[in-house]
Structure 1
Amino acid sequence: MQASCHLKIMLTVQCCWKELMSVLTPLFRPIGQLASMAAITVALVAAGSSPALAAAPASDPEHGMISVTGNGQASAVPDLAVVSAGVEVTAAAAADALAAQNAAAAAMLAAIRSRGVAERDIQTQGLTLTPIHDYQTNSQKPSSYQASQWFGIKVRNVSEAGSIIQAAMEAAGDAGRINGISFVVEDRTALHEKARSEAFKDARSKAEQYAALSGKSLGKLLSIFETNGGGAEPASADRAEMLDTPVAPGEVASGVTVDMTYEVY
């Protein structure tokens, strides 16, 4: 009787185990597949990455660098004359000095405008009324007063600069003063670009020469730095030259300097 019961229990357990496994097996099958796929993927990545790592080029100890400086200049005929002119008057009384200055300045401006200079090209750059002391008498009272006014005048037709100066001085009379004149290129972009191009060519030529002298070949450009440039150097004339109406504009020059570094191998 006991053996019969024991047999029934074992059969029941086996039956339940088979049913349990039939339920759990489908659930664990995807996990097994994922594990296999992961193992295959790792193997493929390892196999694929090894050649790439092996092909990575090592740094070549024979490679080096050459640093050079290039200079470039460009010039052009100026298209703008900038005149510094004004009036200066001395009188015993401040009011008289200022009134005389006003009259001389008005006459000068009228003459300049009559020669076609636009209002936007005329600018007051200084206006003063200064007491003058006689230090030999040690007097605290001014012996006279000096009134002055200075203008910056842009002459866009450079060939007329001399005649405009002459007209301004004649209108102002003895009060007229000329501080100087300069000739410039108003838009210096193209001039500066040309100078930069010349500086680049100069630096490149030097680098090629140094590479050849070193028995190496010139490689890629690693860096370039513009150290100065941008401003044109105007031609100018001092006051003594301006007492004669003719003026000589000459040329305006712009310079650029670049520092460049190349690879050599």
Structure 2
Amino acid sequence: MIKLADALAASAVALGMMSTLGGTAHAAPESARVVVDRARNQVAVVGQGAVSAAPDVMRLSAAVELRRATAGEAFAAARAAAVTLTAALVKAGVSADDLTTNELSLGPEYETFPKVSGYRGAQGVEAIVRDLSKADRIIDAAAAAGEEVRLNGITFEVSNPGRAMEAARAAAFKDAGIKAKQYAALAGRQLGEVVEITEEVTGGPVPMTFAGSLAQDKASVSPGRQTLGINVRVVYMLR
């Protein structure tokens, strides 16, 4: 019978030659990871699965930032500007329930330490936009809420990735099975039952930051598509 370790070494060499010669096999850190436990007659293989999905939610991160002579003035001005910003977002179509304060700060600024030149107050808000047709209008409304407003960036998300992840999970498990079956055959063995499954989710929200002025195109924001993936480590018995 072919020794398991020898067969695996031979298959690794063959795969490396195919990659060098432009064949169909391509080495990848995850897909090439195979662990053999000879004492337990087991083989562990990592399978990969991925699907593409269209995001349907946008998160907008914005804030107001002001400088005043005293701490009290800076804090009051920041709070008032934040009220104006949130009112503009609600008017543009964001639900009040989808607004979250994510920053509140107040601190001194120095001319030359320890001489204080003024105080900086800031308050931030995260807005969840569930209707992407309103995305550009909401961004424009935030930018127009005052010169003290800063836009920190946006992130697109898939609000309900369950179905896409099911497809990715099935693809990853199938990929692991194909690899494990091949390694078992190369070792002169047969693939047995699954004894362990561990998964790792990859992909996710894609952040976008603002630089300079906003584009004049009223349809400048595009969510594109996201790749949702799963790496699954499956341990099989060998017969």
Is residue 158 from structure 1 mapped to residue 158 from structure 2 by the alignment? no
TM-fit CA distance, 1:242: 7.2
Please identify which structure carries the higher strand content.
Answer: 2
Equivalent position amino acid for 2:161 in 1: R
In structure 1, the residue corresponding to 2:211 is in which secondary structure? helix
Normalised to the residue count of structure 1, the TM-score between the two structures is 0.68
Q: Structure 2: how far apart are the matches of 1:232 and 1:111? A: 33
Which residue number corresponds to residue 234 of structure 1?
205
Q: Structure 1: how far apart are the matches of 2:143 and 2:80? A: 13
Higher CA-based Rg: 1
Normalised to the residue count of structure 2, the TM-score between the two structures is 0.75
Change (3 A) 1:263 1:159: same
TM-fit CA distance, 1:94: 2.5
Is residue 214 from structure 1 mapped to residue 191 from structure 2 by the alignment? no
* Structure 2 unaligned spans of 5+: 1-39
Aligned residues: 197
> Over residues 144-203 of structure 1, what are the superposed CA-to-partner deviations in whole Å (9 max), with x where a residue is unaligned?
1111110010000123222201111102x2101011110011223223222211110110
Alignment of 1:56-75 (within 5 A): 64-75=41-52
Please identify which structure carries the higher helix content.
Answer: 1
Q: Structure 2: how far apart are the matches of 1:221 and 1:99? A: 63
Q: Structure 1: how far apart are the matches of 2:89 and 2:166? A: 35
Note if contact 2:93-2:134 (Cα within 8 Å) is conserved in structure 1. Answer: no
> Over residues 181-228 of structure 1, what are the superposed CA-to-partner deviations in whole Å (9 max), with x where a residue is unaligned?
1001122322322221111011001012112323333232232222x2
Alignment partner for residue 96 of structure 1, among 50, 54, 73?
73
- Please report the RMSD computed on the Cα atoms of aligned residues, expressed in angstroms: 2.1
Note if contact 1:216-1:264 (Cα within 8 Å) is conserved in structure 2. Answer: yes
* Structure 1 unaligned spans of 5+: 1-62
Alignment partner for residue 148 of structure 1, among 100, 104, 122?
122
Equivalent position amino acid for 1:66 in 2: V
Q: Structure 2: how far apart are the matches of 1:258 and 1:96? A: 55
Alignment partner for residue 79 of structure 1, among 34, 49, 56?
56
